Copies of this chain bind each other. A is one copy, B any other.
């Protein structure tokens, strides 16, 4: 990735957030920026990365640095995937379409949300050359999910991302309201069955999450779509291992950016446990609080294959559409290259666990 941000765009992700906070209307910004409850988990996500201080290697040849890797066999130019986020038209006029173009331009993977405001087919058509995964929940009416899985396969998506941290959603009432008001103008073409009107409100569909979803459903998704299934929303090694036992090709360590339930563990804390439990039988990704190249390096040092970023891509979208998202990814890429050089790591496989260290620790060698 050699794209450099134009001079008028912010140069780091916090700058993009500040800029987006002024260009979005306040209610939309709050909806996107906030987590659940008192934002304890959302904020813990960020701090947890900082807990891992770098112990860089020196005197290693870093005259050539590459951030390229593969995810589920597909080449990407940097190990930063675009997380699924709902209703991207909140942030930019043609939302998911602009995001898709940015993802393809940056050479990474786009994960399209089941709650996208454009259909998986339209998103695919917007940037045919890109790699796309399709995110979905298992709905009570499993036929809806199956229909989407098949459509995604037919539209050339490379994987299904099954989000599994939504079990509390059907039991909630109040908090959802904020977002739903914002959602009123949008349609959800990926959640509909053939013939259903485009303006079916999200409430019905979301309350339709199937709280009976179990690991066996991973296999169902795989058989419906013929695609590899990535399970998103895991915070424990045992759950990750069980998901892999049931056919998961990838695990996303995620607490939904702190949006589903406050008070749960930060992803940077539990990532090593999940990596160890999966033991190379699947790829492990992580999201939550990643805001700089150093965080990407930390995640990979802890064993992640790649990271996903959600909110920052929305800030990029809000600031400048496709070029804004490209600039966000370019900033991360440039920062990642620098931190790799600093750590003596010419390639991503040199980002090994010994490079990170919980920063509070004092080393005794008495």
Contact = CB atoms under 8 A, between A and B. Distances in A.
Contacts of A235: 55-56, 58
A236 B358 CA distance: 14
Contacts of A354: 236, 366
B56 A342 contact: no
24 contacts: A44-B359, A52-B362, A53-B269, A54-B261, A54-B263, A54-B265, A55-B235, A56-B235, A57-B236, A59-B243, A61-B214, A62-B167, A62-B212, A168-B338, A168-B341, A173-B334, A211-B341, A260-B342, A261-B294, A261-B339, A262-B294, A265-B357, A269-B359, A275-B365
Contacts of A174: 11
Interface string A48-87: 0011111111111111010000000000000000000000
Contacts of A353: 365-366
A272 interface: yes
Given A269-B361, A363-B270, A365-B275, A239 B341 contact: no
B239 A59 contact: yes
B55 A342 contact: no
A276 B242 CA distance: 29
Interface residues of A, number: 76
B55 A364 contact: no
A58 B240 CA distance: 9
Interface string A216-242: 011000000000000101111001001
Interface string A318-347: 000000000000000010011101101000
A264 B55 contact: yes
A180 to B, nearest CB: 17
A45 to B, nearest CB: 12
B59 A215 contact: yes
A307 to B, nearest CB: 16
Nearest to A234: B58
Contact of A171 (B51, B56, B217, B341): B341
Contact of A359 (B55, B65, B265): B265
A296 to B, nearest CB: 12
A347 B341 CA distance: 41
A327 to B, nearest CB: 13
A349 B261 CA distance: 21
Given A171-B65, A341-B167, A57 B263 contact: no
The residue among A234, A260, A265 with the most chain B CB atoms within 10 A of its own CB is A265
A61 B264 contact: no
